Chains A and B, each alone.
Chain A
C-alpha cells in the first residue's frame, strides 16, 4: 500500500525525530573531536590554540593508557566469561521443573534492577570491607586473616561486582532460549543413546549459540563503558590498578581539568570500541544469520 505519495509523507513525518537523534549524536561527537585538537585546560583559561595531534600523542604515550586498555579488556573479558558460563549453568538449573520456580526466577533476575552505584556500594561496604564486611567475618570465623579485596585484588573485585550485576541478564536471555528448544529433539537424542551430558553438549549448547552471541554483543557494549562501579569502590586505584579507559578519560578531563586530552581519550575509546565490535562480529556474528 506504500504509494509514492505516502512514502514521501512518511519520510516527512519521521524527519523531525531522525534529525533530533542525529543532532543528539553528531553535535557531542563533533565537539569532542574539535576539543581533542585544542590545547584546552580549565585551569589555564585564555586562548585555546589548535595543536593538531598533540593531545593524542600525550594520551597514547602515557603509560597509564596501556594499563587502562589492558584493564578494560580484562574487565570485559572476565565479566563475559563469568556471565556466559554462569548464565548457561543457571539457565540449565532453572529449566528443571521444581517447586517455587516463579519466585526463584524473580530472585535470580533481581540484581539487574539494582542500580550500579548502589550494588557496588553494597558489595564494597557490606561484603568486601576488611573490617565490617561479611567476607571478613567469615574469614574471622575460619581463623584466617581478612582479605582486603578492593586493595589487594581491585580489578578482580570489580569484575566480581559487575558479573553479579550482569549474570541475571545473561541467565534471562539464555533461559528463554533454552525453553524454546523443541522437547522432541531432546527425546530423539535420548532415544539415540545420548547421555545427559551429551544432550547438553550436542543439542542444548548449539541451540543456545545465537542467544550467547546476543548476550556477548550486548554486554560488550555496556561493559566497555563501566564507570560507576569503579568510581564508588576503588576510584581507579590503588594507583591505576583498576582504571579502565572510561575512568581514565574521566580522570583526565574532570580530575586534571584537561578537556583537550580527555576528548582525545574519548575519541581513542570510540575507535577501540569499534575495533572490538568488528572483531566480535567477525568471530561470532555468523551465529546471528538464520
Chain B
C-alpha cells in the first residue's frame, strides 16, 4: 500500500517560501511525475515527502497515518538519487543488502532477497563488483535494486536519468516503466524533462515556483492545459502562442495552437510567413516560420516528405477545434 496525502504542506528556507501551502493526493500504485523548470521546488517537494527536509507547516500522511514527524527510515519509502549515492567501498551485493542489514534481517534472507532483486535488474553477474567498476546504467540499476529490496510503500526518484546519455536514458525509461507495471507500487518521479513525464506518468503534477499549476493524466494536460504555463511546458515542440488581434477574433487574450495542429495550405490560411529553419527528422519535419507581426517564429509539424526550404513562403491554417483559448490572466477559457 502506498497512498500519500499532502495537506497544506509548506516549506520555507528562512524567510523565503519555496513551497506555498499545497494539497496533493497520490493514490496507491500510481506513477506520479513532478515536472517543472529547474528551481520550481519539485525536488524539495520530493525531499519533504522522503523526510530529508522538515516541513514548515502542514501534514503528510502515508496510508492514512501521520508521517510528518517520522524520520525518513520510518516512512517506508525508498529513494533513488540523482547521483545514485551508491556506497563506493561496498560491493554491489553489499550495497543492495545495506537497507536489509540496517533493518536487522538475517543473512540467509538478505542473500535471497538480493539475489532476487539482482535477477529482476540483470545484475547477477555484477554482484561482486564495486560501483566504481560499473557503467552509468548499471549503477542506476544498483540504486534501483537498493530501493526495491526493502519492498517500500512507495519509490521516490529524484531526476534519476539526468546523468545518463540519451540512448541509455530511453532504455532506462522503459525499464522503470516496466518495473512499475510489475511491482504495482506507488512511484513518485521528479524530472525537468517533459518527455519523461509524458511517457511514464499515470499522473503529472506540473509545478512552477512551488505552486501546482495542474494535475492530470498526460493526455489531459496535452489536450486541456489549464493555463498558458502548462500549455507552453507540455508538448514538444512547444505550443505556438499568439496574442493581439488574431486572439481577440476568437474572444481570447491569447490563443495557442500546437505545431501538429497547423495545416499547410496552398493559399489563404490564418498565418503566412517565410520558413527560417527546417528540421528534418525523417518521419516528421518541423518548420520554423517567421510570421510578420508575431514576436516569435511559429513552429509547424509536417510529414517527412514535405520539402520546403529556407525562405519559402507558406500559409498555415489551424485546425479549428484544436485552438486553445486563454484569458487575460493566462487561464484557459473552456
Contact = CB atoms under 8 A, between A and B. Distances in A.
Interface of A: 182, 184-185, 187-195, 198, 202-203, 206-207, 209
A184 B83 contact: yes
Across the A-B interface, give the 10 residue pairs with the lowest CB-CB distance, nearest first: A193-B73, A192-B99, A188-B85, A184-B85, A193-B102, A206-B89, A184-B81, A185-B85, A194-B102, A191-B79
B72 A191 contact: yes
A209 B89 contact: yes
B85 A187 contact: yes
Contacts of B78: 191
Nearest to B82: A184
Contacts of B42: none
B87 interface: yes
B78 to A, nearest CB: 7
A192 B81 contact: no
A195 B71 CA distance: 10
Query: Interface size for chain B: under 10, 10 to 19, 20 to 34, or 35 or more residues?
Result: 20 to 34
B16 interface: no
A190 B85 CA distance: 12
A182 B85 CA distance: 8
For chain A, what secondary structure do more than half of its interface residues adopt (helix, strand, loop), or is it mixed? helix
Contacts of B83: 182, 184
Question: Interface on chain B toward A: helix, strand, loop, or mixed SS?
Answer: loop
Interface of B: 50, 52, 71-73, 77-79, 81-83, 85-90, 98-99, 102-103, 146, 150
A190 B77 CA distance: 11
Given A193-B73, A194-B102, A198-B102, A188 B79 contact: yes
A182 B77 CA distance: 21
B210 to A, nearest CB: 21
B103 A193 contact: yes
B99 A193 contact: yes
Nearest to B104: A193
29 contacts: A182-B83, A184-B83, A184-B85, A185-B86, A187-B52, A187-B72, A187-B79, A187-B81, A188-B79, A188-B81, A188-B85, A188-B86, A188-B87, A188-B146, A189-B87, A189-B98, A190-B71, A190-B73, A191-B73, A191-B78, A192-B98, A192-B99, A192-B102, A193-B99, A193-B102, A202-B90, A203-B87, A207-B89, A209-B89
Contact of A191 (B77, B86, B90, B103): B77
Contact of A192 (B82, B88, B146): B146
A202 B86 CA distance: 12
Contacts of B150: 192
A105 B89 CA distance: 29
Contact of B73 (A192, A202, A206, A209): A192
Given A188-B85, A193-B99, 13 more contacts: A182-B83, A182-B85, A184-B81, A184-B82, A184-B85, A189-B87, A190-B71, A191-B73, A191-B79, A191-B99, A207-B88, A207-B89, A209-B89
Contacts of A206: 87, 89-90
Contacts of B73: 190-194
Contacts of B86: 185, 188
A202 B85 contact: no
Nearest to A190: B72
B298 to A, nearest CB: 42
